[in-house]
Amino acid sequence: MIRIFNYFLIILIFLLNHSAYAKDLLITNAKLVIDEKTFKEYLASTDKLPTDYINNIHENITIYQSMGAGGNEPMTFFFKDTEADEIMYMLGDTDYVIKNAEGNWVTSGIFAPFSHLGMADIGGEDLTNDISSPGSSTTISEKASDSFNPQSVFVANNRRHGITHAVISPTASGNSVFAGTGSIVNLTGNYNSVVKERAFVLAQLGEKGTQYSGGSRSASLLQLKEGLDTANCNNDRTCRNSLERAINNINKNSYISNSESEFLKRVIRGNIPLIISVERAIDIIRVINLKKTFERLDIILLGASEAWKVAEQIAENNIKVMIDPHNNLPSSFETVDSSLKNIIILDEAGADYAIANLSALGLQGIGTLTQHAGNAVANGLDWDKAFAAITSTPASWFNLSLINNSLVIWDGDPLNVTSTPTSMFINGQEQSLESRQTLLRDRYNPINETEKAYKYR
């Protein structure tokens, strides 16, 4: 029965791809690491889920990834205990690339849930830094994708660490708590690497928000509410009054303009998330109350150092959290109760969370994301939950099917600091694991036997 089912799938793949330009991908002898739900969904068998797995690690898997010709979405199939020769025979003349994983770990790509990747060359030099625009009269309408340089040296530097996709975002500046509209990109380095131009809107509350709203938390929260009210006005009179207030205060510190509020409508409807940067527990409670007013909001908390103190309320209100599990020391008065147990308590409460590297260097150097997840495991988080927090969980928040768009072969446990990718595929195309850092390393390696002087190497 299983063999008949497999033949049916291969025929389906052939019909979808007989005119494909991009080659499909066949990975054999893989130790597949994937969550149980996704494994069941993509398993090419009518049998029940195999029982020989631990922490969502599945041995002896063959993976077939179809690139989807003619506008079809890519599809991925997992074959359990099926000989590769049998699958290759069934594929016939289908054009595909074959890769033997040799029993090594195979995962989806790593998804960085928040970054400034490719938006700045030198952070301290304004002319090379497009992360914020303090002199601009626009805010929400500004797209991070318009500031993204796919061929920035940071892209290749981070790709070689297994990062295939990243959220990129501007930061708030000037007179608005609204930072702009963030995007999703892949790390191919190609000019068409923007996956979603308008993926979310970012607002900043807490200490950062006070800087952009006149100087107090009440002012920043009021500005956020007014922006949402303006976008949400539900009758002519309310709408007119809200717009008048906004228009009259364009050049003041409090409200957004009518044209800017148009870009919040998708947020109000719950079509895209609203990411709110906030740290202190009481500020998180105020965000929770905000959702009670605007019920359709899809809110993601960013930072949330004191989220552990209100973890149950966060979970009860279906609010998602992006946190850095390394943050355990107060860097400001609003993070005095930071704790390494933050992510553990959120997990126990049933909250939906993702792991990010929120340090100043980490927002560009997202390649250390697996180390942050690994340290969360060392502090008590289950391995499979930590790995999901840097892959399938944040990708699902932005409706991205990560397993259909990326695969990475590792030489060991991806959350081990000594492990590294040996092969990477994005959209079916094998990616270079070379970067400026590796080129410089090889060029000036003291054991390099070339007789050329350094300047000529």
Q: What would the mean pLDDT of 74-101 be, rounded to a whole number?
A: 82
Cα separation of 16 and 319, whole Å?
A: 39
- 252 versus 414: the higher-pLDDT residue is 414
Indicate if the pLDDT at residue 89 is higher than 70.
yes
Q: How far apart are CA 18 and CA 209, in angstroms?
A: 54
Domain boundaries, the chain: 2-103, 110-400
With 50 as the cut, is the pLDDT of residue 250 above it?
A: no
Which tens digits make up the pLDDT trace of 420-455? 999 999 988 899 999 888 888 888 888 877 777 766
Is residue 176's pLDDT more than 90?
A: no
For residue 195, the cross-strand partners are none
- What does pTM read for this prediction? 0.88
CATH architecture, domain defined by 110-400: Alpha-Beta Barrel (3.20)
The DSSP-derived string for 89-152 is: HHHTT--EEEEE-TT-EEEPPEEESS--TTSBSSTT-GGGB-S--TT-S--TT-BGGGG--TT-
Question: How confident is the model at residue 329, as a pLDDT?
Answer: 84
Is 202's pLDDT higher than 50? yes
Tens-place pLDDT, residues 307-363? 999 999 999 999 999 999 998 888 888 888 899 999 999 999 999 999 999 887 777
302 confidence band (pLDDT: 50, 70, 90) = very high
Pairing of strands 421-426, 406-410: antiparallel
Tell me which of 16-20, 22-26, 64-68, 309-313 is least confident: 16-20
pLDDT for residue 163 is more than 90:
yes
**Dihedral-angle region of residue 439 (phi above 0 means left; psi in -120 to 50 means alpha; beta otherwise):** alpha
50, two tokens? 């195999």
In tens, the pLDDT along 370-428 reads 999 999 999 999 998 999 999 999 999 999 988 888 999 999 999 999 999 999 999 88
Q: 236-250, 274-288, 294-308, 338-352: which range is least confident on average?
A: 236-250
| Predicted pLDDT at 238 | 55
pLDDT band at 19; cut points 50, 70, 90: very low
Average pLDDT over residues 232-248: 54
Instruction: Please give the pLDDT value at position 257.
Output: 65
pLDDT band at 79 (very low <50, low <70, confident <90, very high): confident
Axis-axis angle for helices 217-232, 236-248 (nearest 10): 140
Query: Is the four-CA dihedral 24, 4, 104, 32 of positive or negative sign?
Result: positive
